[in-house]
């Protein structure tokens, strides 16, 4: 219960101030405990952020379950909705961007989490792209997996450009362009309305 | 002259150890000066890394000039070659990934450099995509700019996935897939051989 409170407080602090500037003391204060109390529960600030990101994913997945576990084109529409939601939560996007990049450095505590997350996300997206693509010939699994890696990369890479220059980047339109270009290049139709 | 030596030493150190673990003392030692001497020339470690990145871009552009300033499809082939080269310089890719993400945080010293770099790169790529796409109808500028943002995002986002799981990601094939999907979705032909 206390852990959950801390994760929610951390999400608010990281959203408002970013990962670097949001301090453990800010988070502790919101929950009414000490800085040491937060460390007791999570060990490090990085680990706490991993929990915030995991919580974000779990919440997203709960919303998916409500929508009776969408597949194929409906899953891709869910992805587009997430991108649109992200344009209204700069702090979380900033925290995700900084932490995912930091995670590539040796021994970073978030590294296993991101590695697993990317693998799972690529598999789910490869499947969704294959199902959404109603081409005459089925698309080779290798092509779908490559397309999934492209799609994940576009979402992540756009966040960096968008955070630096929000007016220049329409993230939802750019991700949709990528999905449609992939589907049509495989002989399928573009995604169409939700 | 001394500045140039320091930048080259920094590139080697960041390539071998990454940005976080490569220290100013490591760099200073290679040039035979003190840690303070490096700070005297560059102010901060972040600023020194900006110089390493700028130097990388300048070298890339010099190679371009040698190739008589390629445009259109030839420029896109140059981009693909750069992606392939990147698979052989993990340290620089890691440093670029970490620093570009860090730059989105408030007041980061590399922020203006990255903002300008992304704007220029999107413009150059929008032009190259438009020239490479020999479709019957010219592609709208807005579409080309969105496609350019997608292409930059794919290159950056793939680096994160590749650094975490090199065996799972073929960066060159994925970037080529993106270029071809964009060109064909606009009614053009895929890129073809170099």
- Residues with Cβ within 8 Å of B18's Cβ and at least 6 positions away in sequence, in order, are A105, A106, B91, B94, B95, B98
State the pLDDT at residue A74: 93
Q: Select from A103, A114, A153 the Cβ nearest to the Cβ of B154.
A: A153
State the pLDDT at residue A84: 96
Give the single-character DSSP code of A139: P
Contact A165, B122 (CB under 8 A): no
Put residue B135 in one of left, alpha, beta given phi > 0 → left and psi -120 to 50 → alpha.
Answer: beta
State the pLDDT at residue A67: 58
State the pLDDT at residue B146: 98
Distance, in Å, from the CA atom of A109 to the CA atom of A103, rounded to the nearest integer, reads 7
- Residues with Cβ within 8 Å of A123's Cβ and at least 6 positions away in sequence, in order, are A145, A148
What does R_g of chain B's alpha carbons equal in angstroms?
A: 18
Distance, in Å, from the CA atom of B113 to the CA atom of A130, rounded to the nearest integer, reads 39
Q: Looking at the complex, does the CB of residue A21 fall below 8 Å from at least one CB of chain B? A: yes
Distance, in Å, from the CA atom of A118 to the CA atom of B51, rounded to the nearest integer, reads 31
User: Which whole number is the average pLDDT over B34-44?
Assistant: 93
Q: Which residue do the tokens 């779908």 mark? A: A144
Q: Select from B18, B21, B146 the Cβ nearest to the Cβ of A177.
A: B146
What percent helix, strand, coil does chain B show, rounded to 5?
75, 0, 25
Confidence tier at A30 by pLDDT (50, 70, 90): very high
Q: HEC string of B72-133?
A: HHHHHHHHHHHHHHHCCCHHHHHHHHHHHHHCCCCCCCCHHHHHHHHHHHHHHHHHHHHHHC
| pLDDT surpassing 70 at residue A161 | yes
Distance, in Å, from the CA atom of A125 to the CA atom of B105, rounded to the nearest integer, reads 30
State the pLDDT at residue B96: 86
Residues of chain A with CATH 1.10.10.60: 1-68
State the pLDDT at residue A64: 59
- Residues with Cβ within 8 Å of B33's Cβ and at least 6 positions away in sequence, in order, are B2, B6
Quote the tokens at residue B144.
Answer: 């080309």
User: Which whole number is the average pLDDT over A11-35?
Assistant: 85
Which of A23, A121, A37 shows the shortest CA–CA distance to B169? A121
The tens digit of pLDDT for each residue in B89-114 reads 888 888 889 888 888 877 777 788 89
State the pLDDT at residue B175: 98
> SS3 of A110, please?
coil
Question: Which carries the bigger pLDDT value, residue B98 or residue B145?
Answer: B145
User: Which positions in chain B touch A146 (Cβ < 8 Å)?
Assistant: 170, 173-174, 177
Distance, in Å, from the CA atom of B141 to the CA atom of B129, rounded to the nearest integer, reads 10
Quote the tokens at residue A121.
Answer: 């996300």
The tens digit of pLDDT for each residue in A89-146 reads 888 888 889 888 888 877 777 788 899 999 999 999 999 999 999 888 999 999 999 9
The tens digit of pLDDT for each residue in B166-178 reads 999 999 999 999 9
State the pLDDT at residue A73: 95
Q: Select from B19, B104, B184 the Cβ nearest to the Cβ of A160.
A: B104
Contact A83, A145 (CB under 8 A): no
CATH superfamily of B1-57: Homeodomain-like (1.10.10.60)
What residues 27-66 of chain B have any CB closer than 8 A to a CB of chain A?
A: none
The tens digit of pLDDT for each residue in A47-94 reads 898 888 788 777 666 665 555 667 899 999 999 999 999 999 888 888
What ipTM describes this predicted complex? Answer: 0.87
Mean pLDDT: which of A169-178, A185-194, B60-69 is highest? A169-178
CATH class of A1-68: mainly alpha
Which of A181, A192, A104 shows the shortest CA–CA distance to A147? A181
Q: Looking at the complex, does the CB of residue B181 fall below 8 Å from at least one CB of chain A? A: yes
| pLDDT surpassing 90 at residue B187 | yes
Which of A85, A163, A154, A96 shows the shortest CA–CA distance to A122? A154
Distance, in Å, from the CA atom of B101 to the CA atom of B153, rounded to the nearest integer, reads 12
Quote the tokens at residue A156.
Answer: 């992540």
Q: What percent of chain B has a predicted confidence (pLDDT) above 90?
A: 61
A 10 A CB-CB count for B163 gives 20
Residues of chain B with CATH 1.10.10.60: 1-57
Distance from CA of A1 to the nearest CA of B (A): 31
> SS3 of B135, please?
coil
The nearest alpha carbon in chain A to B98 belongs to: A101
| pLDDT surpassing 90 at residue B66 | no
Inspect the interface and report whether the beta carbons of A150 and B184 lie closer than 8 Å: no
| pLDDT surpassing 90 at residue A31 | yes
């Amino acid at each position: 219960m206390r852990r959950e409170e801390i994760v929610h407080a951390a999400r608010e602090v990281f959203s408002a101030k970013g990962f670097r500037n949001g301090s453990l003391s800010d988070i502790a204060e919101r929950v009414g405990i000490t800085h040491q109390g937060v460390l007791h529960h999570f060990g490090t600030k990085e680990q706490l952020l991993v929990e915030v990101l995991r919580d974000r994913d779990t919440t997203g997945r709960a919303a998916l379950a409500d929508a009776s576990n969408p597949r194929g084109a409906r899953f891709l529409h869910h992805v587009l909705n997430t991108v649109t939601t992200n344009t209204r939560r700069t702090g979380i996007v900033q925290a995700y961007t900084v932490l995912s990049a930091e995670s590539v450095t040796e021994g970073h505590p978030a590294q296993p989490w991101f590695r697993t997350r990317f693998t799972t996300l690529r598999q789910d997206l490869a499947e969704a792209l294959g199902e959404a693509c109603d081409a005459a010939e089925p698309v080779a699994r290798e092509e779908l997996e490559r397309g999934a890696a492209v799609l994940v990369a576009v979402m992540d890479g756009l966040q960096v450009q968008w955070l630096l220059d929000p007016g220049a980047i329409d993230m939802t339109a750019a991700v949709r362009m990528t999905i449609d270009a992939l589907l049509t290049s495989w002989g399928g139709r573009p995604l169409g309305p939700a």
